[in-house]
Amino acid sequence: IFGGNPAAVCVCERWLDDALLQKIASEHNLSETAFCVPQPKNATYQLRWFTPAGEIDLCGHATLATGFIVMNFIDSAAQQVAFETKSGILQVRKMGDKYEIDLPSFALNPLALTKERIEQIYAAIGFAPIEAY
């Protein structure tokens, strides 16, 4: 519980106003705060993540933390939980005393390496890229 990458988890009965969600995340001041709302009709949860600066589309460790909370404090008989997110349905599974998640993959698109971009990358990391995505 008290190791790894910290995340706050807030389980709500209904969605709060976005401005209030943002204030709560800013008050927690962690890299991410997860907010979830149960969806009893389809036995899932809606899940959103906020940083102190704003809402984000995906956060793996806060999703795992939310799965832990749901399966240990809300539905202790559950061995998996589904979350509806901006990035699609995310499943967290309980595997003994560990938890696993399958995250979506995204296609990588090549980035054009202009002379200016190569110089910027070289200045930042000390070598010129062959390819960039």
Kindly report, residue by residue over 17-33, the tens digit of the pLDDT.
999 999 999 999 999 99
pLDDT value for 1: 63
Q: Identify the three-state secondary structure at position 54.
A: coil
**Whole-prediction pTM value?**
0.81
Kindly report, residue by residue over 61-109, the tens digit of the pLDDT.
999 999 999 999 999 999 999 999 999 999 999 999 999 998 988 889 9
Give the pairing of strands 55-56 and 44-50.
antiparallel
Catalytic-role residue among 13, 27, 32, 84: 32
- What ranges do the domains of the chain cover? 8-102, 108-133
Confidence of residue 41 (pLDDT cuts 50, 70, 90): confident
The kind and range of the H/E element at 74 are none
Q: How many other β-carbons are positioned within 10 Å of the β-carbon of residue 107?
A: 5
Pick from 28, 29, 15, 89: which is nearest to 58 by CA?
89
Can 32 be counted among the known catalytic residues?
A: yes
One of 2.40.50.1020, 3.10.310.10, 1.10.357.10, 2.40.30.10 is the CATH number of 8-102, namely: 3.10.310.10
Give the pairing of strands 80-85 and 44-50.
parallel
